[in-house]
Structure 1
Amino acid sequence: MKIRTRLTLRYAAISAFVFILLMCIIYLMTERNRSRDFYHDLNREAVTKAHLFLQNEVTPKTMQSIYNNNRAFLDEVEVAVYTTNFKMLYSDAIKNDIVNETPEMIAQVKKDKIIYFNVGKYQALAKLYKYNGAEYIVTAAAYDGYGIAEERALEEVLFIISVIGLSVLCGVGWLLSRSALKPVSEIVDEAESITAVELKRRLPVNNENDELGELSIAFNSMLDRLEKAFESQKMFVSNVSHELRTPMAALIAEMELTLMKKRSPEEYEQAIGNVLEDSNRIVKLVQGLLDMAKTDYMPEQINKEPTRLDELILDARSIVLKANPQYDVEIVFEQEADDDSYITVNGNSYLLTTAFRNIIENNCKFSGDKSSLVRISFWEENAIIRFSDNGIGISKEDAQKIFEPFYRGSNKLYARGNGIGMALVKKVVDIHGGTIQVNSVQGEGTTFIISLPHI
């Protein structure tokens, strides 16, 4: 069952309950007022007839004759007069008495002064009446034909109003639910049109302050993340296919060339060395691409914890020297930190270590003496790390594009690379809320300055 139908049924059910409850209250209050007014009329008629009888202004026979004649056309009140010791003095109807008076009733009236009760469809009362110092018991009973007829007419009116009212309420409920859920239908239609090739489409936001607006905003935010993840995946696949094509082709060509004819052990050894070198390049390329893909995740999805920068730099130095024993990496603390928090950042140790390793390798690779100088300092709210070399330097044009993925500058002939390392460094620094600058003089060297907010 659709929400629109459920809302309509619930609205109709609640409205029907309230509507019927109000109709019942109106009916019960009307019945109560009718009964009260009719008992008032009975009381007045009982007093009038008892007074006439006790004053002897009208004979009992005349009173009985008037009662019998009126009874054929009207709902005449039947009155009877008793003494307090249960002796009947007068009754309008001797043969067909409505009220069956008993000694117990007389005793109760003497105690309560007046009592009200029903006899079938008739309303009746019995009261204590005083006349000339004497006490009498007067009973009166009648059928409120006019009041009951009015009540039946009211029932019909209330029934018709209920049917019409409930029909209107159901219609209004359906229209309201349709109107209220129209934005949902629009969201559903738009959501169905969003596919993997059309992730740029977004759900409509009619009102940012209502629940549907918040839902659309949240869904659009999720689509932003999905689009970014898809773009990252597409870029990763595209980059892998593009960058692996050349080294894999070279690797295959080297192996095919080696197998074309028999060679000496030295030639096979040289060929295997070339294959191994190409394989290592492929491994580094794949690792760089994987690292770059990881940095494309949303920042909140990357685990971060308080991490000391000096320890990460020592780890990066160890990794670089293990792979390249000929490199020389020096670490200098320019300031003494009284508090470890000055060189501690909230970050991901793996990504930061990878970034530092890439910069150190870059320094050593483009430096004549294969060295890198790392200086650690802090200032106000940031920890500052400078990576310097005395290499060939970077031109101004290359410095502006050095952080673009797969960009290789004019120094690409000086050392091998794939253009991933510095792009990865930039992404890692951005994720950690830091900045990176490049100061370089061609022929003198390059310094990368990373600033990260410390704890």
Structure 2
Amino acid sequence: MGLRTKIGVVITATAALVAVIMGLVVHHRTAVNQLETARETLDARLGTAVEDHATGVDRHRPDRRRALLNPERLPAPLREAAERGKRATYLDRSGGRPVLWAASRVGDDIVALRHPYERQTRNLRDLDEVLWLAGGLGTAFAGVVGVTLATVAGRRLNASARIAERIARGDHSARLRPRGGKDEIARLTIAVNTMADALSARLQAEREVTANIAHELRTPVAGLVAAAGLLPPGRPAELVRERAERVRGLMEDVLEVARLDGSAERADTDVRALGELTRRAVGAVVMDGRETAEVRIERDCVVETDARRVERILANLVTNAFRHGGAPVVVEVDGGLVRVRDKGPGFPPELLARGPQRFRTGSGSGLGLGLTIAAGQARVLGARLAFANPEGGGAEATLDLRASVAGQGATGQG
């Protein structure tokens, strides 16, 4: 149940409860006032009838004709009160029609008056109908107003949520449009924008520091690589050259991550067969001089995308599968999907929950830049990169390029 529905239900239920309580109060007070008024009027007439009976005034007076002397159908509670010398009234609802009685004892006789109470009952019933109608209309109006207010508030909250989601996905330029007012939602808007500004400034500073460090290290690393090439042949020279090349590769990866963190990267699209791109990317990855991945083309297709970036993504996925997974590594092309599978321990839970994060890996080795670069390149292409651990074991990374499919190629097996 959404917030708009909850607010609407609460306001409607509150309005209905208030209408019921007010209706009960009005009904009760009206019934009491009607009965008190009728009792006072009938009691006054009874006093006159008692005086006439006691003084023997003409029994043919109009008021006198309405008085009853020792009536047989007098209600028992009223008869008992009259016999004890009390002048009392009693509303009898035992019959089909309500009747208000008044009685008093005069000597050995009981003088009584009866008055039909149907008109008061009918008026009270009419009042109840009006109260129900007014309560229903008031509840409906309150519900409409409540849903309207909840809709307005919900739209503003949804806008805040969408902007926060865009910021979480990497769009650090997203901002909420401030509106007038000082309510809680306006404060939330200011807070989200302030958070986005602070996050953007922090990431920009981090990118600049990372890029500056990489640039500063590029020259000495290049000199180190050149110097390593001048060493005399031998195992120590090979180790130095290998480490120097690795440091240079790391510097290039750090610079690429810094570029991908920004918004200046743009894809240069052309039309290529996805199977061909996959074979080229996998063929460029050779681990320890002997291990290669198997490429399977289930359904080839033609994509309109940046071939260099696609190859970079697939090369990083295959390299990660060999380093942190386990052989055999299989790359499967199925339409616009490219799946990279291995038989290793699988992706760590943190990566599955939050996605790749630089300088963090689940295996305890490496800097986590390979998958971070792959995710960043996929974002530039407008593609999706998903990670999962299949039920049969191992890890599976899926590059979804279906949005870039320009046509279908031939089906084959490689």
Normalising to structure 1: TM-score of the pair? 0.45
Indicate the structure whose relative CO is greater, using CA pairs within 8 Å and at least 6 residues apart: 2
Q: For the pair shown, which has the larger CA radius of gyration, 1 or 2?
A: 1
Normalising to structure 2: TM-score of the pair? 0.49
